[in-house]
Structure 1
Amino acid sequence: MRHECPPCLSPADAATPLPAAARTFDIPTERICQLLATAPLFDGLAQGEIARFARGVREIKAARGEILFHRGDACSGFHLILTGQIKLAFVSAAGNEKVVEILHPGQTFGEAVMFMDTPYVVMAQALADSTLLHIAKQVVFDEMERDPVFCRKLIAGLSRRLHHLIADVENYSLRSGRDRIVGYLLREVDDDNPAGSRVAIRLRTSKATIASRLNLTQEHFSRILHDLIEAGLIEVAGRTIRIPDLARLRASLD
């Protein structure tokens, strides 16, 4: 059962239906402002400026596996992830899935579709119990007309997303599956680890989802992991991957 948030929604926003999986809760305007202030998109905005968004914000709880929206659903705003993990994916008529992005707290999604005023082209699913904020598009449009700095932040965010997608095309087209996996593992390592140190990382989602994100079949993904294990570059125990020598793994990309 869904509950709208009267103090936080304009009449127009309140009439907008939520996805079936979403559950919204009454939350004070002050708390909404505090949550928004933690997001990079709203960094630098004064408290009063952030408060203007509160009337168009819903807090959404999604359990692991729940669908936030399907391809073809209408877009009424964009989402900001507070906790959890969200997967964006294409799903074919036969049920085959291609993961486009795996998103984490602090990231947003849905802005481009919101501006284009078209239905969603992907589905969004919670990979873990998640909490999100949904920001209504009319509130965003009103603030864009009022504040050019906020406009530039939105454009910068969309530009970073585009750059990221171009990098994906480059990886899929020019890099081997092995290099894609090694690159993914290295991105999961904290930057402050010494070059030759032994480190352990915990995969934040299933290997099948990561394989799809890297444009690999599960079988190919598993074979490459086995090859890396045989080469002594990694050790695998479930979702935990240990890297005996970080510098050696990095050098394997050369």
Structure 2
Amino acid sequence: MNPTLTSPDAPTSPDATQAQRILSHLPLFQSATPAQLATLASHVTQHRLDKGALLFQRGDAATGFFIVVYGQIKLFMLSPQGQEKVVEIIHPSQSLGEAVMFLGKPYPVSAEALQDALLLRLERSAVDALLDTDPGFARRMLAGLSLKLHSLLKDVDTYSQRSSTQRVIGYFLQQCEEVPDAEPVALDLPVAKQVIASRLNLTPESLSRSLAELSRAGLIEVQGRTIVIASLQRLREHTP
């Protein structure tokens, strides 16, 4: 069953200079001019969430989109039986809600803070105005939406074609994409194992069995939230 969740603090208007500085460091707005950033900042609200607070619930109206400044946001759905399915984990500098915003439809998922978080919410009217005047911004927005679609298709392929252990290996390798092939590699899991299991469409028990299998094979060592990978190359080549 899903735990009782708290509500976020009331949104506030951030300092304009601070908002412009935050926006300027986000990939989506890197080429925006100071004037464009100032206009965007005037349409931004700031949302602080404690761990466990809901940002929005499935069915809420989507009239803007969010950018994570710090913290992590879990997008999830609940089955009629109350079982939670994690759809995606949103990390700092990533955005959420833009596709639904453009469709003019309510959110199809709920969003919960996995840790204390700060987000900026940008009104659709400001986004539409920038899309009309900045082709570069439009291309980056399309690229971001395309990447999310590609990620969704990869998830479908993973869930339908790969075993539980293959999914776990794929997750570890994805988390280590920018890590040199040093031996060993200590991977600090960014979220709880239960969240990872749901994200991979596994039960916690299936995840535990896969971790035990990889441990017996000498490929990993589980130390709480840290996974010590003996060799990334051996992990890539492992066939469960």
TM-score by length of 1: 0.88
1:164-221 per-residue CA deviation (whole Å, 9 max, x = no partner) reads: 10111111111111111011111222534235x1011111111111001001111111
Q: Secondary structure at the match of 1:73?
A: coil
Distance across 1 between alignment mates of 2:176 and 2:135: 36
Contact 2:8-2:47 within 8 A present in 1 as well: no
Structure 2 match to 1:151: 138
Structure 2 match to 1:64: 51
Question: Is 1:246 matched up with 2:216?
Answer: no
Contact 2:220-2:228 within 8 A present in 1 as well: yes
Query: Residues 12-91 of structure 1: matches in 2 within 5 Å?
Result: 20-91=7-78
Q: Secondary structure at the match of 2:169?
A: helix
Aligned pair partner of 2:201 in 215, 225, 237:
215
Q: Secondary structure at the match of 1:157?
A: helix
Report the alpha carbon displacement of residue 253 of structure 1 after superposing the two structures with TM.
4.9
Structure 2 match to 1:12: none
Distance across 2 between alignment mates of 1:188 and 1:253: 19
Aligned pair partner of 1:186 in 158, 173, 179:
173
Question: Is 1:226 matched up with 2:238?
Answer: no
TM-score by length of 2: 0.93
Structure 2: gaps (5+ residues): 1-5
When residues 136 and 22 of structure 1 are mapped into structure 2, their CA distance, relative to the original with a 3 A threshold, is: farther
Contact 1:90-1:98 within 8 A present in 2 as well: yes
Structure 2 match to 1:176: 163
AA aligned opposite 2:199 = R
Contact 1:113-1:119 within 8 A present in 2 as well: yes
Structure 1: gaps (5+ residues): 1-18
Report the alpha carbon displacement of residue 26 of structure 1 after superposing the two structures with TM.
4.0
AA aligned opposite 1:229 = S
Report the alpha carbon displacement of residue 71 of structure 1 after superposing the two structures with TM.
0.3
Q: Secondary structure at the match of 2:99?
A: helix
Distance across 2 between alignment mates of 1:143 and 1:193: 39
Question: Size of the alignment, in residue pairs?
Answer: 235
Distance across 2 between alignment mates of 1:96 and 1:192: 34
Contact 2:7-2:53 within 8 A present in 1 as well: no
Report the alpha carbon displacement of residue 104 of structure 1 after superposing the two structures with TM.
0.5
Distance across 2 between alignment mates of 1:146 and 1:246: 46
Pairwise CA RMSD of aligned residues?
A: 1.6
Identity %: 43
